[in-house]
Structure 1
Amino acid sequence: MGAPAIDTSPGNGHGGWVPYYYWPSLPAAIIFVLLFTVCGIIHIYRLFKYKGWYFIPFIIGVIFQAVGYVGRIGSHYDFYSLTWFIMQSLLILLAPALFAASIYMTLSRLAIALHAENLLIIRARWLTTFFVTGDVLSFLAQSAGGGMMAKSDPEGADRGQKIIMGGLFIQIFFFGGFIIIATIFHNRLNKSPSHVHEKIKGRKYLLTMYFANGLILVRSIFRVIEYIMPHDGPLMKNEAYLYIFDALLMFFVVVVYLVVKPYGDLFDEWKRRKDLGDLELTRSSQHNIFPGTSRDRPQEREAMTSSGDIESALSSRSFAEQKPYGGSRR
């Protein structure tokens, strides 16, 4: 039995407003709920196993995807329900921004872990801050616009659509900039004679980043085209486009980070270097507080230097001899 016809006439009981121009597919929604749920469970297990806390936004994005398609199941059974419509509209729309937040944090960690942060055109500590800030702006704009579009008020929905487009353009702008910076870093890494081993270790992470960013960028462009076109345009009238250019692409992003784990031994090295850097920063601060000690007493300065060298050597030896706790991971 076919799906009921969609009544868009003014007498449909909702002033001609309809949440969809098609009847949401139940099988398609169920399939993607299951796919994102299974992937989400695996990601959560690995999150706690490897303590890759910076990937929490990504996992929240996976949860958003799963719950968003639950909303489409609800819309199948209750077509005019604003609750189900808002749920699926907002969560599916916002999930890629959460994916992007974790991906942005990957590059600086990768550069530090490979001892190649000097090859970045932006300092590692500012790289994450800059791009995550842009991602937050995109997220907030899309959230506000999605909330307005979920209303049955035509004027409010039109304003919401424009705000969403603005948020998507912000996302595309920052994505483009990030891809350029990652490409420059990758090119410098390949050409650096002192990073021969590092470029081999980092290759799969960089290629994974390109793949995921490319898919999210294509999805964002699709969404912009979707909102530029009329409400009853072909992209809005055919549900298949949503599943091909949004659901399927985002599923590939989720899967690729299951295949290439964004945590583990290489990122343990990032944490070790970060902690060691914090220690060195603390020492420098202490010397700045008491500058007269090393200047006025050369013997004490020499002793402090020797002590620091010994401590550094012992620390390096300790790190080299210790079997990393992630060494047995597969």
Structure 2
Amino acid sequence: MSASASGGFKAYEYDPSMAAAVIFIILYIVVTFLHTYNLFQTRTWFFIPLVLGGYFELVGYIGRAMSAHETPNWTLGPYVMQSTLLLVAPALFAASIYMELGRIIHLVKGQKFALIRVNWMTKIFVAGDVLSFLMQASGLGAGIMVKGSQSTGNNIIIGGLIVQIIFFGFFVICSIVFQVRIISHPTTESVADCVPWKKHLYALYATSILILIRSIFRVAEYVQGSDGYLLSTEVFIYIFDATLMFLVMVVFIIIHPSEINCLLGRGRKMTTKGGLKLNEVSSLPL
């Protein structure tokens, strides 16, 4: 966001693409509604943040479509809607990802192999995620860019993104350390064919890397500022943000954590084809 040559409000350094916004509105409608259906069917309640993040993405791209319709006479509302919601949605994805790791560790009885005490692990990572979210979304983050000093707002948002990167990086390290340790000293549950924990851990790796790439891109974007090449070229937000976050949601449709939840006796139904039936769960050595 910057001032135009005439001193007025200039939301974008380009004319937003209506076609691109509509494509991602449709894509996010599909994946978010699928996740919403799975959420209530499987009662995988710890995935509520990810589902909310999907709605943030959806409404954010509706905001971009509204801005595209307004070009070149942009108004503040759609700009703030898209910039804020698209910025903070990945933090909601992260919250669900952090909570799944603890459940995987409990599933294979691998608490002693965790780098951090499992009871503290989720709390620490989610606390970092909340901090990142607040730094990006509060009046000290995205709001300042609209109401006051843009440079101050940029710095706080960059700080929030760096917090997110640090916690995600440490999360990946914790996941790798746990996997190496339990493979070296397997538990009965970790080698059981009916406990497919590895594919869920790999889903966490994949989605974590996608969010890390997106967050690094966002840091570079805000470091360059509104006149920088990244913020002034629309294609980058669709490649390094829209597409990557869509893929995060797709991964969790293919490898849905309801399987983990159900094996722990906390869910009602699995979404994975060819998996265990609900009445088989009670016979697992958990």
Report the TM-score, using the length of structure 2 for normalisation: 0.88
Counterpart-to-counterpart distance in 1, 2:204 and 2:97: 7
Tell me the SS of whatever aligns to 2:258: coil
Residue deviations 1:134-165 (CA, integer Å, cap 9, x gap): 000000000021111134x5xx2211111100
Q: Tell me if structure 1 keeps the 8 A contact 2:16–2:67.
A: yes
Instruction: Please state if 1:137 is matched with 2:131.
Output: yes
Instruction: Please state if 1:176 is matched with 2:159.
Output: no
**Larger Rg belongs to:** 1
Counterpart-to-counterpart distance in 1, 2:100 and 2:127: 15
The number of equivalent residue pairs is 265
Q: Tell me if structure 1 keeps the 8 A contact 2:265–2:281.
A: no
**Higher RCO (CA 8 Å, separation ≥ 6 residues):** 2
Large movers: runs of 4+ above 4 Å: 324-327
Q: Tell me if structure 2 keeps the 8 A contact 1:139–1:167.
A: yes
1:95 maps to which of 79, 84, 89: 89
Q: How does 1:296-307 map to 2 (within 5 A)?
A: none
Match of 2:272 in 1: none
1:259 maps to which of 254, 261, 265: 254
| Unpaired runs of at least 5, structure 2 | 267-277
Q: Which structure has the highest helix share of the two?
A: 1
Counterpart-to-counterpart distance in 2, 1:326 and 1:47: 22
Q: Tell me if structure 1 keeps the 8 A contact 2:44–2:258.
A: yes
- Segment drifting more, 57-66 vs 223-232: 223-232
Deviation for aligned residue 1:7: 8.9
Q: Tell me if structure 1 keeps the 8 A contact 2:59–2:85.
A: yes
Q: How does 1:1-330 map to 2 (within 5 A)?
A: 8-9=4-5, 11=6, 14=8, 17-79=9-71, 80-144=74-138, 145-151=141-147, 153=148, 156-195=149-188, 197-198=191-192, 201-264=196-259, 266-271=260-265, 323-324=279-280
Deviation for aligned residue 1:270: 2.4
Tell me the SS of whatever aligns to 1:261: coil
Deviation for aligned residue 1:326: 10
Match of 2:273 in 1: none
Instruction: Output the aligned Cα RMSD.
Output: 2.0
Amino acid at match of 2:207: A
Deviation for aligned residue 1:189: 1.7
Return closer, same or farther for 1:102/1:256 CA change in 2, 3 Å cut-off: same
Return closer, same or farther for 1:193/1:64 CA change in 2, 3 Å cut-off: closer
Tell me the SS of whatever aligns to 1:234: coil
Deviation for aligned residue 1:197: 1.3
Counterpart-to-counterpart distance in 2, 1:170 and 1:30: 32
Deviation for aligned residue 1:225: 0.4
Counterpart-to-counterpart distance in 2, 1:83 and 1:62: 20
Counterpart-to-counterpart distance in 2, 1:270 and 1:182: 19
Deviation for aligned residue 1:324: 4.3
Deviation for aligned residue 1:23: 0.6
Return closer, same or farther for 1:190/1:238 CA change in 2, 3 Å cut-off: same
Return closer, same or farther for 1:180/1:325 CA change in 2, 3 Å cut-off: closer
Q: Tell me if structure 1 keeps the 8 A contact 2:49–2:95.
A: yes
Tell me the SS of whatever aligns to 1:100: helix
Counterpart-to-counterpart distance in 2, 1:126 and 1:166: 24
Deviation for aligned residue 1:203: 1.0
Counterpart-to-counterpart distance in 2, 1:128 and 1:46: 23
Deviation for aligned residue 1:268: 2.2
Question: What's the % identity of the aligned pairs?
Answer: 42
Counterpart-to-counterpart distance in 1, 2:282 and 2:254: 17
Amino acid at match of 1:148: I
Amino acid at match of 2:28: F
